[in-house]
Amino acid sequence: MTPAVSLVVGALIALTTSLILEYVRLRLADARTKRLLKSLLGIEIPTICAAIDALVTSFNQLGYLEVLGLVQIQSARQGYDRNRDWIVLFRESAFRTDLIRFYQRLLSAHQDALGLETFATLPMAQAAFVARRRAGLIVEFRDIAVQGRAILQQLDAH
């Protein structure tokens, strides 16, 4: 083998080795990130469901949606908001879709509730309309909590 051929073969071996090592490093990093994301969701979703349960209980006692409860829900979802790009690590698209839909519904209901409670303080607010919207939002929040608990059961399989 000539020195030029030896040099080319050596370079190819080095390149192949570095590509393989980089691939393995990325796969290990993805696996670690996925494990951490699962851990985060395993803590965050039950916290959100508990905050929703507390909001429903407080609504049943007070007749309105407590802003403090809504703030707790908003605070509980911050982990997902900061790490949502990593859900692509879950290979099953149905699970990813369920997870995204859960957090989107939660955000929408949260914003609707804050807007409604702000509107309810205005003199022009009609009590019957506000009462109907509150009842509808409570149903939505309960449904979101059920969806969150279903996602938790699926989380271990992914």
In a domain, 42, yes or no: yes
pLDDT in tens, 121-145: 988 879 899 999 999 999 999 999 9
* Domain-embedded: residue 24: no
The answer to whether residue 74 is domain-embedded is: yes
Q: Per the domain annotation, does 53 fall within a domain?
A: yes
Angstrom distance (rounded) from CA 56 to CA 65: 8
Residue type, 35: R
Residue 147 belongs to some domain of the structure: yes
Cβ-contact 83, 50 below 8 angstroms: no
For helices 127-155 and 93-120, what crossing angle results, to 10°?
A: 160
What is the pLDDT at residue 23?
86
Q: How many domains does the chain have?
A: 1
Domain membership of residue 109 (yes or no) is: yes
Predicted local distance difference test score (pLDDT) of residue 29? 79
- pLDDT at residue number 2: 87
Q: What pLDDT is stored for residue 28 in this prediction? A: 84
Flag whether 25 is in a domain.
no
Buried b / exposed e along 93-112 (16+ C-beta atoms within 10 A):
eebeebbeebbebbeebbee
Nearest residue to 155 via CA among 28, 31, 37, 27: 37
Q: Which domain holds residue 122?
A: 35-155
The pLDDT of residue 100: 94
End-to-end Cα spacing for the chain: 51
> How confident is the prediction along the chain (158 residues), in pLDDT tens digits per residue?
788 888 888 888 888 888 888 888 888 877 888 888 999 999 999 999 999 999 999 999 999 999 999 999 999 999 999 988 888 888 889 999 999 999 999 999 999 999 999 999 988 879 899 999 999 999 999 999 999 999 999 998 87
